[in-house]
Amino acid sequence: MNNSKYIFFALVFVLFSCKTNVLTGKRTLNFVPDSTLFPMAFNQYDQFLNENKVITDSKDAEMITRVGQKIKTAAQRWLNAIGEEQYLANYQWEYKLVDDPTVNAWCMPGGKIVFYTGILPICKDETGVAIVMGHEVAHALANHGAQRMSGSQLQSIVGTGVALGSQVAGVDQGTQQIINQAYGIGSQVGVMLPFSRSHETEADKIGLYLAAIAGYNPDEGAALWGRMKANSGGEAPPEFMSTHPSNDSRIANLKELAPKARAEAAKYGVTSFK
């Protein structure tokens, strides 16, 4: 198969692999079904918990669970309102606090959540935890994990097509290596990293809305990222080389989103915030 045919079939495959996400209304690349993704995520989560120190029976652990349940309820209320009552049917929610100084938290596809103790001082209080929790849950709800897996697989498919095309054209091995390396750099910086940044911005919005619907003050979003910026000491790669928006971009965006999150929460009768 020549290079043009290979790429044509890859494009057809992409066209029929796009799905509309119920929360964003966007058509996104996603050819990894939940029936495949969730069991993989659950197994990895269990393995992670077995290999790390999980904290239980502490006030912080109880707070993580309490906030997680409120964010889950907020998500269900939102989904009910848009006619997607069964969207979370296969989720298996779990909230764990892990003893680790890393400033991080994450939510696997299917609702498996981990907070590291290292992020709690930056969260500062329950509202800060809710902002982070909302953001991480938003990644799962928006199917960002499946989209990134799909994007990586597509990147590999097209990369193989480029390599085959250079071989068919009779390009010498040294030039092939240069072409392949250029493709790798170009696709990573030009496609995969901005793709990830768009996910982060999307999760900031959805997460802030979830936190507000759960009764937490959305103004805390910008304040939290101000503390994140201070914690980083200003050491961050240029935004175009990063998988995340710059701290300043994020803070500005969250300030703009806060009143919109309040307005969204008001639709559910939530007008006072913790």
For the CA atoms of 36, 41, 47, 50, the dihedral, rounded to the nearest 10 degrees, stands at -140
What is the Cα–Cα distance from 147 to 152, expressed in whole angstroms? 9
What is the Cα–Cα distance from 98 to 63, expressed in whole angstroms? 13
Q: How far is CA 11 from CA 5, 18, 21, 58, in A?
A: 10, 11, 20, 51
The amino acid occupying position 23 is L
Burial of 171 (0-12, 13-18, 19+ CB in 10 A): middle
Q: Which residues have CB under 8 Å from 225's CB, separation 6+?
A: 247, 250, 251, 254
31, two tokens: 């050819």
Residue 57 Rama label (left phi>0; alpha psi -120 to 50; beta): left
The one catalytic residue in 51, 84, 94, 136 is 136
126 is catalytic: no
DSSP 8-state code for residue 33: -
Annotated catalytic residues are: 136
